[in-house]
Structure 1
Amino acid sequence: MNKKLLYYILALSLVASCKREEDHVFDKSPDDRLNETLKTYQTAMTSSQYGWNGNLHTADGTLYRFYFSFNDSNRVQMLGDFDSTSGSLLAESSYRLKALQQPSLIFDTYSYLHQLSDPDGSVNGGPDGVGLKADFEFAIDSVSADSISLTGRFNGSRLTMKKATQADRAIWTSKQVGNGVVNFKNYWKFLSYWKRLNYRNVDYELQFDSSVKKVTVSWGTGNQAQSATREYYFWANGVYFLDPIVNGSVSIPGFSITGFTNDVLAANQLMNVTVNGTPSTIKGAAGSNVVPINPDVKNAVVRWRSQAQSTGNYWISFNGFHKNGVEDAFDINSLRNDSALFYYLLYSPNSRGSDGFLNIYLDTASNPPGLIAINGSWAKRISDNAGLTTITEDSVYSEFPWPASGPAADTRNQLFSGTGRYYFVQSSAISYDMVSKDDPTTWITWWWIW
């Protein structure tokens, strides 16, 4: 018993000595040290004379550009490139620094950041209940003399802030970012699917995916053609790339838009831009002789087919063909059959035999509502090494005949029109555009919903 008591006393003395030694490691309490850290961070945030440029990557990787100016009264002024309003109207809200699991920056009243995060899809165009997977509460990862790195506490979005220059602030406050958003809307007025930037007598084919703010730029010819994909943001009255496009000694950071001519009757559609201060143009490439520059066109149709074949699923289109600037050009969404309404077109690439092409309706009177095929054909498909695919009608489903006229007949005729030649372009992670070789103002978008 005495030995046990002796060991117990010895253990207590060792613990006490360790405690006294640890007490000398820091001369302040953990709370004091944390408060000092938060104060240091706030000083860093408020000390940038011209504010901060912020690059926000949402949880799905989409880039949004922001401007922040913090003051010592826990107020922040903000601009963004989300839309024309956020790019033009300087909005003020509040922020605070708080110790959670680690020092954190919280934007605690509604701001442009909250707009991206809003679960109401009508606010930002994202899915209801999800929004655009952004954040307004961030854990602070690192702070240096000219940059701050943060991670969203809910969605894990990444925010990097870098000190803005006087010229940066001038671009923001003179509404040039908002102008870029507005100017770029004219880009979508080009009738031809193929849009090309001509800079220093070289054509660069542009393919924008606005759903994730990425652009694929292609240049060169034949086996020398190449492409690069970049994130883009709105800046200085136009569109700029997070990393420049490099073609040998030529570097393209993006372009400022100076004007747009939209004389459709005279077949004169022209966007005037400047690249590195040099006047340049963007035009639509029209006519049946147009050949895509993007080398991926040679492989896209193979992926499109194999994705459906390997899963046993199919591709669908909700609006049918886009033609001469008109979405749902044949008004296929107007189709009705008693209580059944048009729902989508279906294309099923088969590994053996003919492909299936069907016109699918939704019967709203049945309980539950059911899908029914109204019209359909078997289709033959031949692709060459350049990615050009020819689709011809093999036969009509005897139980699902096509009408002689109207939106369904027009859609069928367009699919198999002339030589039925199309190029396939992957337009997003879940969609492909099938573009008419004979008339580049005509295309259909196929979606993957599985």
Structure 2
Amino acid sequence: MNKIVIILLMAAMMAGCRKNEVPLVNGGLPEERIMERLAELRGKLTGAENGWMASLTTTAGGGYGFYMKFGADEKVSMMGDLSEDAATQSQTSTYRVKWVMNAALLFDTYNYITLLQDPDPKVSGGKAGSGLKSDIEFEYIRSSGDSVILQGKKYQNYLYLVKATAAQATDYQQGTVVDRMEAIQDYFEDHFNNYINIDGLPNKISFIVNDDKRLSFQYADAKDSIITIDGKFNFDVSGINFSEGLVVNGIQFKKGALTGSTLKLYDAGGKEYTVSQNPTPVIPLKLLFAYNKTYNTILIGSATLPAGVTSGFNSVFNGMVSRFVASSRSIDSVRIVFSNSTQGLLEIRYKSGTTAFQAALSFSYVLKDGVLTLADYAPVLNGTSSNWTSRIDQIGSFDQWIRSGPFKIDWVASAGSGGKILGGLYKVSDPSDFYYGDLRKR
């Protein structure tokens, strides 16, 4: 027994004497590799003579662009595309490079990046309590050439850093980003139904940019299936930047820029694609309109039809409005809704004094290849009576008009709509006579 104890003690002593036989990591001790990794990240951040162009997407919002310059004193100066002030006023805060299972960059005082996670919705437009769901601590993933890639510790969004040239740094510091922001925003205020063409795709590709710095490419493939590619963007000194790229039919789009009054997109290889405009959206409405698709409602939202459209229906509608007014009533809205795959509803919402009423006509329908055939019309009862029946003198010729199909579903062009998306039901027997209004999803 004593021999066993002695042997165990000797083994323990020998193990204790071999401290330097810790397994090596990539040729060095773990603590050495940690220090090297931290020094690598710190050196790259501070080694960019002209600073960095940075881009970051958020989980609850769009994309954001920044210009950053890191100092050896752990201070960083920053500008961003969050607002005109952020794009013109440099802000200095502090940062740290630390080890948390890997080298990481931490912004530890309030700046334009931490503003994105501000829990007050009035600050960044995000959700109460979580802001735009963005990070302030980023893990060092890798570097390549003039780029450094980091990833948010909590929300996993990537922070891309690209070394700025001297000219780009000067542009940022002179507020050029504001000029780009305003020019592109102005462009989309009066350019509608934007699209591009791509070799190999027979149909035009819709290019949609939203106010929250999100964008989409959308097109119909050869089988009439709708393909949608969603992404986010930020502004920079060149124009707009798709930091993570958007791949359409194998082509990765990276940037966009205005050349005079023309917007052009660029793929990863630098090829140029001109953004053009169509009188109406480029995807056929018959592929988007159904009870379970993008739109299922055509709405006339007041007693006035959308401006700039000539149709035989105009006199039918305006006559109905006048008759309601003559009976001391006023129309609030008219809508045609596809309730399910076989049933629809025509609703006229109106007021008598301050009391709201609804006159509704139900119908069955068949929608095939964009042609709508209606049948089985029936006034909707309110208890034992029907407002459609009681108001038939005011509704007048509109009742006959809706029964005069079949109709074709298609877009409606209007120079006076201000970019509003209009759809219509065109009589197959007379395409110049069509009901039209705003497209909605009820």
Q: Which residue of 2 aligns with 1:351?
A: 341
Gaps of 5+ in 2: 267-271, 309-331, 350-355, 412-419, 427-433
- Distance of aligned partners of 1:58 and 1:383 in 2 relative to their CA distance in 1, 3 Å threshold: same
Q: Which residue of 1 aligns with 2:136?
A: 136
Deviations 1:151-195 (A, max 9, x none): 2122222212122223432443333322222223334534x8634
- Distance of aligned partners of 1:113 and 1:276 in 2 relative to their CA distance in 1, 3 Å threshold: closer
Q: Please tell me the residue identity of whatever aligns with 1:351.
A: S
Q: Distance in 2 between matches of 1:273 and 1:440?
A: 34
CA contact (8 A) 1:244 1:253 kept: no
RMSD of aligned Cα (Å): 5.3
Structure 2 residue 441 is the aligned partner of structure 1 residue 446: yes
Q: Which residue of 1 aligns with 2:146?
A: 146
| Matches for 1:42-441 after TM superposition, within 5 Å | 42-59=42-59, 62-190=62-190, 194-195=193-194, 205-211=206-212, 213-216=214-217, 231-236=232-237, 238-241=239-242, 243=245, 253-256=255-258, 258=260, 272-273=261-262, 275=264, 283=277, 285=279, 290=280, 292-294=281-283, 297-301=285-289, 305=292, 323=306, 349-354=339-344, 376-378=360-362, 380-385=364-369, 394-399=377-382, 401=387, 422=409, 435-437=422-424
CA shift for structure 1 position 91: 2.5
Q: Distance in 1 between matches of 2:360 and 2:339?
A: 14
Q: Distance in 1 between matches of 2:403 and 2:240?
A: 37
**SS of residue paired to 1:40:** helix
Q: Please tell me the residue identity of whatever aligns with 1:214.
A: L
- Distance of aligned partners of 1:95 and 1:374 in 2 relative to their CA distance in 1, 3 Å threshold: farther
TM-score, normalised to structure 2, is 0.63
Query: How many pairs align?
Result: 372
Deviations 1:243-283 (A, max 9, x none): 4898999x99523164xxxxxxxxxxxxx225489997855
Q: Please tell me the residue identity of whatever aligns with 1:208.
A: V
- Distance of aligned partners of 1:356 and 1:253 in 2 relative to their CA distance in 1, 3 Å threshold: same
Larger radius of gyration: 2
- Distance of aligned partners of 1:103 and 1:228 in 2 relative to their CA distance in 1, 3 Å threshold: closer
Structure 2 residue 27 is the aligned partner of structure 1 residue 6: no
CA contact (8 A) 1:116 1:132 kept: yes
Q: Distance in 2 between matches of 1:392 and 1:159?
A: 57
Deviations 1:19-60 (A, max 9, x none): 342399999986676445423321210111121122213235
CA contact (8 A) 1:422 1:434 kept: no
Q: Please tell me the residue identity of whatever aligns with 1:435.
A: L
Q: Which residue of 1 aligns with 2:317?
A: none
CA shift for structure 1 position 97: 1.5
Deviations 1:93-139 (A, max 9, x none): 22111223432211122222122212222222222223222111112
CA contact (8 A) 1:349 1:356 kept: no
Q: Distance in 2 between matches of 1:440 and 1:76?
A: 59
**SS of residue paired to 1:215:** strand
- Distance of aligned partners of 1:66 and 1:353 in 2 relative to their CA distance in 1, 3 Å threshold: same
Q: Please tell me the residue identity of whatever aligns with 1:378.
A: S
Q: Distance in 2 between matches of 1:393 and 1:119?
A: 54
